[in-house]
Amino acid sequence: MLVANRGEIALRVIHACRARGLRSVAIHTLLDATAPHVREADDAIRVESYLDIDAVVAAARATGADAIHPGYGFLSERAAFARAVEDAGLVLVGPSATVMEQMGRKDAAREIAVAAGVPVVPSAELSGGGSARADSAPDKSAYPVLVKAAAGGGGKGMRIVRDPADFDAAVASARREALSSFGDDTILVEKYVEHGRHIEVQVLADAHGHVVHLFERDCSTQRRHQKVLEEAPAPTITPEVRTLVTESAVALARQVGYVNAGTVEFLLDADTGEAYFLEMNTRLQVEHPVTELVVRVDGRPLDLVQLQLAVAAGEPLPFGQDDVRLQGHAIEARVYAEDSFHGFLPQAGTALRVRWPGAEADRFSPAARGVRVDAALETGQVVSTAYDPMLGKVIAHGHDRESARLALVEALDDTAFMGLTTNAGFLRVLVASDEFRDATIDTAWLDHAEVAEPSPDTARTIAAWTQAMVDTMSPGDDHPFRGDGWRVAGDPAPVVVELDRTVLVDRAAGTVDGVPVSQISAELHLMVVTLDGRREQALVDVGPHAVEVTHRGQRRVFTRPDVFADPTLHVGDGTLTAPMPGTVLSVAAVHGQRVEPGDVLGVMEAMKMELSLTAPFAGTVDVRVTDGEQVALGATLFVVTSEEGDAS
């Protein structure tokens, strides 16, 4: 089995292959030569790109593989890839190229859904490269509308339009993104449901005419159509809607002759209770673990990847619909390399320390209780902007939704990374929120809600306590976070610690700025203390210029003040630098152009995210980049000089 993917899904497939006695082959680029999935596989072969169809098929032939598992992302929903695999006499673990062509396009999938009697959202089509048909342009009463790419998925090429004046710009932007991502700029314009819930049904079909559903998932907690949290079963669904979506999903799969695992997505209008077909994902989904953790057949959990392999080998499904039962609740959190509390900007760098919750034996195990981790990120690994920013998934299972939610909060407390900012702290705040607890979050909630960043006070207290301990150690002492730990001898005097502000630490009295602190343990960079009677733990590293702390998933870097810094320098001087490493998609401004506050100067992209760079104030712009240029973090892109000439 050639595994045509990378990261956690490649590991997931490799483990499933091993369980079925199949030899696995990993493909990898030069950047991934020492990646975990490469080391884990039985064999490995290099390709220039995971998106190179000819190279992937050639790799399968060269290594003697007779089947290919595409995972998700990359080539997994490319009909051209499926056809190339078929033409090479190989087996694709997934549907046929013909089915993929039909269901991979939202416009064609709609027609099939209608033929199967599945309810669909009212929609109009704008043909690729052309203008809208006369009856396609929405009138004022139709707004808001959703503009989205007919091809592809993952939220790419999607725009919500509330004002008719913004329609043309939204279509142009969606077309550009769709063409870049999918090679097709055909656009659909649909009714936009203001308060919707994203419901999807897992289906499984074999080549012998058997189709079953494995109940539904709720993926409503999403931002800009990118899923953040997923759960199964759906917490707000009625028995009537459950019957509608599950039976519709099976009918759709039968109508198109689907074989293997797939997901049928629906939009549930929370205001009317109506459910509409959205699209079908002709592959395994990122969120498949929550289904594995709650679905039982004869009391046993399912392994969807092993079932995929069995179906691809021509075996019939070993159970029928009447054998499928639900047990408990599961919630999954996607961990991304992004700074969620500061614009959701993608992050890159070296993960100096990685701490995932749970035991290593629980990873990728559908039978695991409590916490499961599907991840490939490990200490010392470089995270670049070349690939999707998802680093892994933390999944919790419980006998009901609340026990699963609380287990996930605890698991995210135990998730920590150093050297790289992630969204783990944001996820922890979100899962602990009243809104998620009460299941009131709809698909648009994260696009307008303000999720408050947690206070840095606890992290600062732990940082100061640790810094003071390091400052009082003798030069020959071992570092406190290496080896078996440390012990403080003597009765050190109070210490003034300079972090982002001055902190007074009295270790002998057990206080930090007067707050009682009692240390429990400190080993391998994990500091465990009680603060004012409350137990807290954090991953800590004391460097020469800063103290880094990750507490409840949130990474903080407390930089000591630079005594040599020029106090006359100030922020907001009109210089726009790259907030992330990436590619300049377009430069809208011309050198020497007069700009107004908020004017878009250019657009850059990294890790599938577009960011518009705007003028901070009125003035003249100095353009320092060109279209398509690769830029590093902090690179100067534009400089706006005010009319007064001092760029201030």
Cβ-based neighbour number of residue 562 at 10 Å: 8
Residue carrying the six token digits 């929903």: 77
Rg (CA), the chain: 26
What average pLDDT does range 11-22 have in this prediction?
97
Point out which residues pair with 383 in neighbouring strands: 349
Cα–Cα distance, 137 to 544 (Å, whole number):
61
pLDDT in tens, 112-167: 999 999 999 876 667 655 444 434 557 776 788 989 888 866 677 889 899 999 99
CA dihedral 537, 539, 540, 541 (to 10 degrees): 170
Contact 216, 198 (CB under 8 A): no
% of residues, the chain, pLDDT over 70: 89
Of the listed ranges 54-63, 358-367, 423-432, 562-571, the least confidently predicted one is 562-571
Cα–Cα distance, 382 to 352 (Å, whole number):
9
**β-strands 619-623, 636-641: how paired?**
antiparallel
Cα–Cα distance, 96 to 65 (Å, whole number):
19
Tokens in use for 138? Answer: 């929405």
What average pLDDT does range 285-292 have in this prediction?
98
Which of 197-211, 334-348, 369-383, 507-521 has maximum average pLDDT?
Answer: 197-211
For the chain, the 3-state helix, strand and coil shares in percent, each to the nearest 5, are 25, 35, 40
DSSP single-letter state for residue 176: H
Q: Is the pLDDT of residue 361 over 80?
A: no
Q: What is the pLDDT of residue 32?
A: 96
Q: What is the pLDDT of residue 220?
A: 97
Q: Measuring CA to CA, which residue among 53, 469, 76 is closest to residue 281?
A: 76
Q: pTM of the prediction?
A: 0.83
For residue 645, with 0-12 CB atoms within 10 Å meaning exposed, 13-18 middle and 19 or more buried, which class applies?
exposed
Q: What is the pLDDT of residue 362?
A: 53
Q: What is the pLDDT of residue 335?
A: 98
Q: What is the pLDDT of residue 563?
A: 47
Task: Kindly report whether the peptide bond that precedes residue 144 is cis, defined as omega within 30 degrees of 0.
Answer: yes
Q: What is the pLDDT of residue 226?
A: 92
Amino acid (one-letter) located at 45: I
Q: Which element (helix H / strand E) includes 83?
A: helix 79-87
Q: What is the pLDDT of residue 478?
A: 57
What average pLDDT does range 420-440 have in this prediction?
97
Q: Measuring CA to CA, which residue among 571, 550, 384 is closest to residue 454?
A: 550
Work out the angle at residue 127's Cα, subtended by the Cα atoms of residues 125 and 131, and round it to the nearest 5 degrees.
100
pLDDT in tens, 250-261: 999 999 999 999
Q: What is the pLDDT of residue 445?
A: 95
Q: What are phi and psi of 570, to 5 degrees?
A: -140, 160
Q: What is the pLDDT of residue 152?
A: 67
Q: Is the pLDDT of residue 373 over 50?
A: yes
Beta strands in 526-590 (DSSP E): 526-531, 534-542, 546-551, 554-559, 575-577, 582-587
Of the listed ranges 126-140, 346-360, 538-552, 599-613, the least confidently predicted one is 126-140
> Is 344 strand, coil or helix?
coil
Tokens in use for 617? Answer: 């104030």
Q: Is the pLDDT of residue 550 over 60?
A: yes
Q: Measuring CA to CA, which residue among 6, 74, 12 is closest to residue 395?
A: 12
Give the 3-state secondary structure of 259-289.
CEEEEEEEEEECCCCCEEEEEEECCCCCCHH
Question: What is the pLDDT confidence band of residue 284, given thresholds at 50, 70 and 90?
Answer: very high
Q: Is the pLDDT of residue 617 over 80?
A: yes
Question: What is the pLDDT confidence band of residue 370, given thresholds at 50, 70 and 90?
Answer: confident
Contact 479, 543 (CB under 8 A): no
pLDDT in tens, 79-88: 999 999 999 9
Q: Measuring CA to CA, which residue among 606, 68, 597, 100 is closest to residue 388?
A: 606
Contact 30, 3 (CB under 8 A): no
pLDDT in tens, 525-541: 999 999 989 999 999 99
Cα–Cα distance, 477 to 161 (Å, whole number):
62
> Is 197 strand, coil or helix?
strand
Question: What is the pLDDT confidence band of residue 643, given thresholds at 50, 70 and 90?
Answer: low
Q: Higher-confidence residue: 108 or 268?
A: 268
Cα–Cα distance, 604 to 277 (Å, whole number):
33
Q: What is the pLDDT of residue 485?
A: 39
What average pLDDT does range 50-72 have in this prediction?
98
Q: What are phi and psi of 166, to 5 degrees?
A: -95, 0
CA dihedral 38, 39, 40, 41 (to 10 degrees): 50
Contact 504, 512 (CB under 8 A): yes
What average pLDDT does range 157-180 have in this prediction?
90
Beta strands in 388-533 (DSSP E): 390-398, 416-418, 495-498, 502-506, 511-512, 515-523, 526-531
Contact 68, 1 (CB under 8 A): yes
The overall average pLDDT reported for the chain is: 89
Half-sphere exposure of 427 (CA within 13 A, CB side): 33
Instruction: Name 544's Cβ contacts closer than 8 Å, sequence gap at least 6.
Output: none
Residue carrying the six token digits 């087996």: 91
Question: What is the pLDDT confidence band of residue 105, given thresholds at 50, 70 and 90?
Answer: confident
Q: Determine if residue 647 is left, alpha or beta; phi over 0 gives left, psi from -120 to 50 gives alpha, anything else beta.
A: left
pLDDT in tens, 310-330: 999 999 999 999 999 999 999
How far separated are the first and last CA of the chain, in Å rounded?
A: 60
Cα–Cα distance, 589 to 514 (Å, whole number):
54
Q: What is the pLDDT of residue 292?
A: 97
